[in-house]
């Protein structure tokens, strides 16, 4: 990211942020509410336009690199009565950008879903309705849906926000293992605890306040 600025009408959400993430890193983005963390992620994903600056992902303009990214949004709401299984949700990750009326999944799609479920140890949930799962189980399913596209980079927006401590630890341990083969960029509110898992932290409060791998007092940074 090179001098990235994001605006909503005349309101500046992100101001002149330059940030490099090396391949293989696990970078946590921290900062106060309203500090521009989600806006920065949306800019990377080309969900909001840049007011100025540029973003490149693996040497490509970010608008042309969407296929290289797996994304888990902050909130995914499922109707508990809607009859869709875990396998169905993960298969949705294999849907092409241009979807026809009679799209059929291939055997390759089915095999990849089985491999991902086995890797994340959720194969026993395959036929369970998504609405019956716990919060931690749902996050693993959403993670599987993002991974089934075989991305090179994983972007997550507060994936543990509504989870209890044991479920949080499970997700973090899983991400740490995935980081062995994927670059990870994740918004986190877990402050200093994220240093147990991430290789570094970028603290954002509209602008880049801090970037490094030392434990800092984020509460003090919030007032900067």
User: Domains plus CATH for the chain?
Assistant: 2-221 (3.40.50.300)
What DSSP designation does 97 have?
A: S
Least confident piece of the model among 8-12, 72-76, 97-101, 186-190: 97-101
For the stretch 26-81, pLDDT in tens is 999 999 989 999 999 999 999 999 999 999 999 999 999 988 999 998 766 666 67
Q: In Å, what is the CA distance from 6 to each residue of 10, 12, 36, 217?
A: 10, 6, 9, 26
Other CB atoms closer than 10 Å to residue 74's CB: what's the count?
A: 14
Predicted confidence at residue 213, as pLDDT, reads: 80
Predicted confidence at residue 150, as pLDDT, reads: 93
Tokens found for residue 38: 């989600």
Top-confidence range, 66-80, 115-129, 191-205: 115-129
Other CB atoms closer than 10 Å to residue 189's CB: what's the count?
A: 16
Tokens found for residue 164: 């209890």
Other CB atoms closer than 10 Å to residue 194's CB: what's the count?
A: 22
Q: Which residues, listed in sequence order, are joined to residue 10 by a DSSP beta bridge?
A: none
Least confident piece of the model among 135-139, 158-162, 176-180: 158-162
What DSSP designation does 158 have?
A: S
Half-sphere exposure of 34 (CA within 13 A, CB side): 3
pTM (two decimals): 0.88
Distance CA 50, CA 14 (A): 10
Q: Which residues, at least 6 apart from 95, have a Cβ–Cβ distance to it below 8 Å? A: 103
Q: Using alpha carbons, select from 203, 199, 210, 173 the residue that is nearest to residue 25.
A: 199
Least confident piece of the model among 13-27, 95-109, 153-167, 186-200: 95-109
Phi, psi values for residue 204, rounded to 5°: -115, 125
């Amino acid at each position: 990211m090179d001098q990235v600025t994001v605006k909503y009408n005349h309101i500046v959400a992100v101001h002149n942020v330059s940030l490099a993430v090396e391949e293989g890193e696990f970078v946590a983005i921290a900062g106060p509410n309203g500090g521009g963390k989600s806006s920065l992620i949306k800019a990377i994903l080309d969900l909001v336009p840049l007011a100025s600056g540029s973003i490149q992902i693996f040497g490509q303009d970010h608008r042309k690199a969407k296929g290289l990214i797996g994304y888990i949004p902050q909130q995914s709401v499922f109707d508990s009565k809607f009859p869709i299984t875990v396998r169905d949700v993960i298969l949705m990750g294999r849907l092409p950008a241009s979807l026809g009326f009679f799209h059929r999944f291939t055997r390759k799609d089915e095999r990849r879903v089985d491999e991902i479920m086995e890797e994340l140890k959720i194969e026993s949930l395959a036929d369970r309705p998504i609405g019956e799962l716990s919060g931690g189980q749902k996050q693993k399913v959403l993670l599987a849906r993002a991974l089934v596209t075989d991305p090179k980079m994983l972007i997550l927006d507060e994936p543990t926000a509504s989870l209890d401590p044991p479920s949080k630890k499970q997700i973090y341990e899983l991400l740490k293992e995935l980081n062995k083969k994927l670059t990870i960029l994740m918004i986190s509110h877990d402050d200093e605890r994220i240093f147990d898992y991430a290789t570094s932290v970028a603290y954002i409060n509209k602008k880049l306040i801090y970037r490094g791998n030392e434990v800092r007092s984020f509460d003090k940074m919030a007032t900067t």
